Amino acid sequence: MKILGLVLPALLVLISPAMAVEFKGQNIDGKKLPAKAYYYATGGVYNVQVRFHKKQATLYFADRNQITIQLNQQVITDSNNIEGFGKIGQYPVNRTFSIGLVYDNNWLGNSSDQLQQSNPLEGFWRISLDKGLDKE
């Protein structure tokens, strides 16, 4: 009986439906939306397309690169301040871990000629959805 008491709650957590990303009460999962992405590590702003899925967002860049980041929030209250964390070449598994390969991110404005120093802001992104979404 004790085993059932431990297994049953674990099963309920595993089979519970995953929540979608919401904005103004609407599910926006799976929709590719125009946005701007600010990368804290470089200060760069990029025109992107963003697709949300559960608590993740995939940013699609004009040069066909993409990155999937883990969002800080699942319900978007400010379309100009959607924050998340993800590194180029990494795919978030959950809130703490990601898997992938080390990626040469020169395309984000980093130069490999410079000494590689740890940047505390590396991996932090802020997404701003284009204004058209606010009117829907």
Structure tokens at 16: 């519970």
Structure tokens at 122: 């590396």
Strand bridging mode 22-23 / 75-76 = parallel
Contact yes or no for 130/35 (Cβ under 8 A): yes
* 3-state class (DSSP) for residue 134: helix
State yes or no: pLDDT of 113 exceeds 70: no
Q: What is the mean pLDDT of the chain?
A: 76
pLDDT band at 41 (very low <50, low <70, confident <90, very high): confident
Q: Give the highest mean pLDDT range of 5-19, 68-82, 104-118.
A: 68-82
For residues 125 and 104, give the distance between their C-alpha atoms in angstroms, rounded to a whole number: 18
Residue-wise pLDDT tens digits, 65-109: 899 999 998 899 999 999 999 876 555 555 555 555 554 555 555
